[in-house]
Amino acid sequence: MAPDALERVSDRVYRVKDRYVNLYVIDAERIVLADTGTRTAEPKIRAGLRELGKEVSDVGLVLLTHHHGDHMGTAGVWAREARAQVAVHEADREVVAGRERRSATGVGAAAKVVVTFLGVFARLRPAEPVEPGRTLAGDETLDLLGLRLRTVHAPGHTLGSCAFHLLPDDVLFAGDAVNARDGRPGPPRFVEDPDAAVRSYERLLAIPRKALCPGHGEPIRGP
Ligand SMILES: [Zn+2]
Ligand SMILES: [Zn+2]
């Protein structure tokens, strides 16, 4: 039997590991996806929906933490097939929609090499652009599909990086504004604005929560 696609984080939050990146499935009145993995994540997300007894048409909302292709890779699939609304911070909106391109710089020499590699990779297989149906400003409380969540604009990794604090479960989806390695948080290594990235990282870590769900690496439990 294939391994389970879903790994439980909290009552209604599940992690899907797509190669080197995470996305999260929130089981609400309809399904909410917090990020969508790379383009190749689609079969695994479909399997995860089946494990919850759901169908693709149950996906109602896609929250994107930022515009990078390993986070918005399948957003277009759910927008198209389930007519799910795609939400992203206004500062990343044009990139997600494919009308703007932006590149990051690496913090440290090794990171610079990786940025160059990722840049080449992105050109070979860019994420499918998707038109966000909802633009977020940050620091707003949203009541959506039976969920209450707070948006936290966390610029730096990208200008429109945005974390989502799911209040009933007390789970913080940090995207790449927090870089989790070996169970410990660190600031992002690829940035559009280095100073803002450090400020955002410190701000996110100061938010009390039961679990912090990063874009890469293992979820970090505890406050
Ligand atoms: Zn990223
Ligand atoms: Zn990432």
High-pLDDT (> 70) share of the chain, %:
90
The predicted structure's pLDDT at residue 183: 86
Q: Which of 86, 106, 105 is nearest to 96 (CA)?
A: 86
Determine the distance separating the centroid of ligand 2 and the alpha carbon of 177, expressed in angstroms: 9
The predicted structure's pLDDT at residue 103: 80
Structure tokens at 107: 């913090």
User: Which ligand sits closest to the CA of 92?
Assistant: 1
More confident residue, 179 or 123: 179
Report how far apart, in Å, the C-alpha atoms of 202 and of each of 47, 104, 154, 197, 217 are: 36, 20, 10, 9, 18
The predicted structure's pLDDT at residue 182: 86
pLDDT(77) > 90: yes
Determine the distance separating the centroid of ligand 2 and the alpha carbon of 180, expressed in angstroms: 11
Mean pLDDT, rounded, of the chain: 92
Determine the distance separating the centroid of ligand 2 and the alpha carbon of 47, expressed in angstroms: 22
52: left (phi over 0), alpha (psi -120 to 50) or beta: alpha
pLDDT(22) > 70: yes
The predicted structure's pLDDT at residue 127: 84
User: Which ligand sits closest to the CA of 188?
Assistant: 1
Hey, what domains does the chain have and what are their CATH numbers? Answer: 7-122+131-221 (3.60.15.10)
Determine the distance separating the centroid of ligand 2 and the alpha carbon of 48, expressed in angstroms: 20
Q: What is the distance between the alpha carbons of residues 223 and 220, in angstroms, rounded to a whole number?
A: 9
User: Which ligand sits closest to the CA of 104?
Assistant: 1
Q: How confident is the model at residue 25 (pLDDT cuts 50, 70, 90)?
A: very high
Average confidence (pLDDT) over 155-179: 97
Determine the distance separating the centroid of ligand 2 and the alpha carbon of 38, expressed in angstroms: 9
Determine the distance separating the centroid of ligand 1 and the alpha carbon of 68, expressed in angstroms: 5
pLDDT digits (tens, 9 = 90+) for 110-122: 666 566 656 555 5
Q: Is the dihedral of CA 139, 205, 85, 51 positive or negative?
A: negative
pTM: 0.93
What is the DSSP pairing of strand 59-63 with strand 85-89? parallel
pLDDT digits (tens, 9 = 90+) for 194-208: 999 999 999 999 999
Q: How confident is the model at residue 109 (pLDDT cuts 50, 70, 90)?
A: low
pLDDT(104) > 90: no
